Structure 1
Amino acid sequence: MKFFKEWGRFMMMGARAHADWEIAVSNTIVKDRKRIMILGLLLVPIILGGIAFADQIGTVMPEVLGGKKAYSPAFFTTGIFIASILIGLGAGLITGCIGAGGGFIIAPALMSAGIKGILAVGTDLFHIFAKAIMGSVIHRKLGNVSVPLAVIFLIGAVIGATCGGIINRVLYEINPVLSDAFITTIYSLMLGMLGCYAMLDYLKARKRGDAGSAHGGKHEGADLGSLPRKLQAVKIPPMINFDQGLVPGGRSISAVFLILSGALVGFAAAIMGVGGGFLTFPIFVYMLGVSSMTTVGTDIFQIVFTAGYAAITQYAIYGFIFYTLAMGMLLGSLIGIQIGALVTKVVSGITIRGFYAMAVLAGFVNRIFALPGKLAAMEVITLSRETTGILDKIGVWAFFIVIGGFGVWVIGTFLTNIKILKGERAVS
């Protein structure tokens, strides 16, 4: 029970840190006219291309679309583009409103919409990379970035991302269904643990009558626990120094632990497509004993390179990125984050935390109900097509009803309180 609690706390801490990054990036893009214009220019060829070629897709690229080469549906239709915006909007609403990683629902949502798992992962990574490049806030945080820490960490991240990408591609070459089953299993485990912890946390807070903050409070500082002390006491050269400006004499840790940590983050990024940022913060603070201030700056620095390396070298060059979908998700998430962040001003934190727990558990139900169909298709278990079809529909409907209901509630709350929110802005 203690392990479950600590692991859930570890995951939630990472989800909140990643959401903070998403919100900062969104604000940077939305509040800069030049960046908005760049985004608009990027969308123009997508829209014009869709209008020009939508009716010819079936005859122009028949060998590319389908079968095992399956970059499908890596082409534009109006319906696909709108769906991508809605998926990004849902993820953005969760991130902005709750301050925890809405990006966890993107891959399950894409797979539920019929996108192959490897394409969902690659597209999600590229979407994160595009967002990081467009809304980079590195220059604001450079004073808090430990360059030696980041560089050594990135060595491990490159190794991990390469391994994760190879595993996904090899599994896909063996059997596309095996690839989907593998990604589905990973998401089922992660969303199940995170969802259960979030729900228990919500129920405890409700029992205490704690209205609280939707974002669950501030991140933890740099007080060293027993594990960071033990790791920093291991003097395997080379030793990397950090936090010199925060702690007298600074602290140091072996490059070996940084490389291993980076490898874990890079591996998770390449396997799941969530950028790995949700792991960096808790690993740095909980395990390595890096201060929160240094961690935030270094995390922003590394996520650009980790997501970029994984997206381009492990997926883009092999054709496993759906660019139109990535741009739609970017647009939707920018809108969703802004609306979600405003709604937190007029809704109690405890209510929003309850919705988050439901959203994550809905993602878990979606993936766990999809898994029997994958296993049956590989003849690992015996189930009729009717049974697997029913299970899959239950998972899909449960997921989209919860996420859709949350989205309608947030947008409805925003619209009904728009006068109040305008007044708050005017006062501020």
Structure 2
Amino acid sequence: MSTFKRLWGSLHAAGECLHAMAQAQGRFELELSREILYRRWKLLVLVLFPVLLGLGMEAAVAAGLPDHLGGHKAYMPSHATTQMFFGSILVGLMAGLITGVIGAGGGYVLTPALMSIGVKGIMAVGTDQFHLFAKAIMGTVLHRKMGNVNVWIAVWFVLGSVTGASLGGMVNRSIYQKSPALSDAFISAVYVFMLGILGFYALADWIRMSRGAAKGKPSTEATTRFAKWLQSLPLKPRVRFDEHIVPGGRSIAVYPIIICGFIVGFVAAIMGVGGGFLTFPMMVYGLGVSTFTTVGTDILQIIFTTGYSSIVQYAIYGYVFYTVAMGMLLGSLVGVQMGALVTKMVKGVTIRAFYALTILAGFVNRLCALPGKLNEVGWISMSKSAAAAINVGGTIVFFALVGIFSLWILGVFVKGAGKIREAERAALAGQAGAGR
């Protein structure tokens, strides 16, 4: 029994950590979408123009092209279609709605969704990363919070993240070259592990919250005991930071920073994520960097990590589908804004319930995809019809739950949009009256 309790405690702690990471990623994506839609919409139109132009030319050239380019390992169509583009917008919209409502990164929907509709895992990872890079570069190159960056922390962190992304990209590509089915199985297994821990934690959290057992926790000290120990190690070279918080600032050896960057880059390249959900807790609780400095550094590392990984590790090898990436970008930008408004009209316990269900839907989806892929590799023996039936079941569960959640959010948004506008007008009128 004591062993079980220790195991459950470890899984709960891991789930809590992953939840905190997802929340950090959600806050980042919400702020990023506001920056792009309200201040950089002209740049967004410019980026989308080539995609729209290509779709407009599709009818003229598609008839003369083969369905696929390449040999027996072809993994993408030779041309984009309007169905692909609007389908990717829908996938991005669902992820954005989840992010906006829950306040936690909904990116866990993107790669499983693309894989569920037939995109090879490595292609889904590369495309997802490129869409994140496009979003980050548009929203943050001139962002005011870039002034928060500690340059030397960023330099050493990016050195580690680029190295980690190189290894992660090499691992994904090597597995794919050996066997596309094994590649899909590997990526699916990673998502099963991550979403399993996060999903069951979210479910337990919702149960506690519905019973009234969830209580606010005191804020964690930025400099934890572990961070203080790391900062005390007499290693050189060192980086000084947070002079604006502590007289004389704090300092830490560069090696823990590089290691943290390496982990972030490796995970980002394997899963097709931006790495921001890992950076925040690792820097704040692991290295003892203030949240003020962490936010700016996180923005910078996402640009470099996703840019390097998506282009150098995936795009130049043909593992990025740009039309799908731009569609996901457009859908997620709109979805995040709509979802954020819905949070003003829905109880937190209801949101937590849907959050747990959508994560577990992603978990079930990738878990059900594994038997078919492992059967193709020859690691298990199963009839193709049985494997296909299990995979279809997982896909139905995934899109049913995520689709129902998304439709519910849209319904609440449409019904409450008028009330939100009236409240905002009343608040502005009150501020104007106070100003007089």
Question: Which residue in the other structure is 1:30 paired with?
Answer: 37
Q: Secondary structure at the match of 2:143?
A: helix
Q: CA offset at residue 101 of structure 1?
A: 0.7
What is the aligned counterpart of 1:4 among 1, 4, 11? Answer: 11
* CA separation of 1:66 and 1:352: change in aligned 2, threshold 3 A: farther
Q: Secondary structure at the match of 2:211?
A: helix
**In 2, are the aligned partners of 1:221 and 1:291 still within 8 Å (CA)?**
no
Whether the 8 Å contact between 2:146 and 2:299 is mirrored in structure 1 is no
Distance between the aligned counterparts of 1:54 and 1:255, measured in 2? 55
Task: Give 1:214-225 correspondences, 5 Å limit.
Answer: 222-225=221-224
CA contact (8 A) 1:24 1:137 kept: no
Query: How far apart are residue 26 of structure 1 and its match?
Result: 0.3
User: Does residue 165 in structure 1 map to residue 169 in structure 2?
Assistant: yes
Name the aligned partner's letter for residue 24 of structure 1: E
Verify the 8 A CA contact 2:67 2:77 in the aligned structure 1: no
Equivalent pair of 1:125/1:275 in contact (CA under 8 Å): yes
1:134-162 deviation line (CA, Å, top 9, x unaligned): 11165311342111111100000010000
User: How far is 1:221 from its partner?
Assistant: 5.2
TM-score when normalising by structure 2: 0.92
Checking the alignment, whether the CA contact within 8 Å between 2:101 and 2:339 is kept in structure 1 is yes
1:66 deviates by: 6.0
Moved more, 37-46 or 359-368: 37-46
**How do 1:341-380 residues align onto structure 2 when only pairs under 5 Å count?**
341-380=340-379
Cα contact 1:65–1:73 (8 A) shared by 2:
no
1:31 alignment partner, SS class: helix
Change in CA separation of 1:74 and 1:342 when aligned onto 2, cut-off 3 Å: farther
Shift of 1:2: 2.2
- 1:123 and 2:127 equivalent? yes
Deviation at 1:4, TM superposition (A): 1.4
Letter in 2 for 1:80: M
Greater displacement, 360-369 / 343-352: 343-352
Q: 1:300 to 1:55 in 2, by over 3 A?
A: same
Structure 1 unaligned blocks of 5 or more: none
Provide the aligned length of Structure 1 versus Structure 2.
420
Identity %: 49
Distance 1:66 1:18 in 2: 39
**Would the aligned equivalents of 1:92 and 1:334 in 2 still touch at CA under 8 Å?**
yes
Q: Which one has the largest radius of gyration?
A: 2
Give the 4+ runs in structure 1 shifted more than 4 A. Answer: none
Give the match for residue 242 of structure 1. 241
Aligned residue for 1:275? 274
Q: Distance in 1 between matches of 2:239 and 2:221?
A: 17
Letter in 1 for 2:186: F
From 185, 194, 200, the counterpart of 1:196: 200
- CA-CA distance at 1:288 after TM superposition: 1.2
Q: What is the TM-score with the length of structure 1 in the denominator?
A: 0.94
Secondary structure of the structure 2 residue equivalent to 1:235: coil
Mapped contact 2:69–2:77 kept (Cα < 8 A):
no
Structure 1 residue 36: Cα displacement:
1.8
**Shift, 1:43, TM fit:** 2.7
- Residue number in structure 1 paired with 2:50: 45
Q: Aligned equivalents of 2:321 and 2:348: distance in 1?
A: 36
Determine if contact 1:155/1:259 at 8 Å carries over to the other structure. Answer: yes
State the distance in 2 between where 1:252 and 1:241 align: 4
Is the Cα contact below 8 Å between 1:225 and 1:289 reproduced in 2? Answer: yes
1:240 alignment partner, SS class? strand
Letter in 1 for 2:288: G
Q: 1:119 to 1:143 in 2, by over 3 A?
A: same
RMSD: 1.9
Q: 1:154 is matched with which residue? A: 158
